[in-house]
Amino acid sequence: MNEIEEKAVQEKKTLGFWIYLMTDCILFASLFATFAVLRTATAGGPSGADLFDLDFVLAETMILLASSFTTGLAILGVARGFKKQTIFWLGVTFALGATFLALEITEFNHLVAEGNGWDRSAFLSAFFTLVATHGLHITVGLLWLAIMIIRLVRYNFKKTDLNRLALFGLFWHFLDVVWIFVFSIVYLIGGM
């Protein structure tokens, strides 16, 4: 394949992946709508105000935001032609993402241990499902990132891997965009 054809292939893959992200928006929108409707359905149990530790969530948010930034730095490393810079920032992104996930799992554990699991009320079902769906996407992202890092090291930045890296960037940024609304709607508004 020549360069023009390669560019066309890359464009269609980017568009396809972008559209998948747009469909994911709709999936999250359904879960957000559900949460919004069920946010007061606490069945006599605790509400968001009773449960959410906003400082904790602020820390999570900053960590995820930072990881979105470091992703950008990694992709810049590619554009500038510096392999080590790219690998470094991808590694940092992974560490930040893993930390975010660990914090979230800790929060979930805490809630479940106190008897405020997903089966306690409709509100909690909606909370766990929405936040965990985001968390699941993060997990997939981390898996993708790990494989990406290994391949970049092993195969020395093949063009196809660089294309995939750009798509990973879109994915990871997208997850941070969704988190803006999780933070705002679930924790800030839902915790009022």
Q: Which is nearer to other proteins, 72 or 91 (CB)?
A: 72
CA distance 137 to 103: 15
Q: Which is nearer to other proteins, 91 or 163 (CB)?
A: 163
Query: CB 4 → other proteins: shortest distance, Å?
Result: 12
Query: CB 101 → other proteins: shortest distance, Å?
Result: 17
Query: CB 110 → other proteins: shortest distance, Å?
Result: 18
CA distance 6 to 120: 53
Query: CB 60 → other proteins: shortest distance, Å?
Result: 11
Q: Which is nearer to other proteins, 102 or 136 (CB)?
A: 136
| Residues contacting 105, CB < 8 A, separation 6+ | 135
Residue type, 94: F
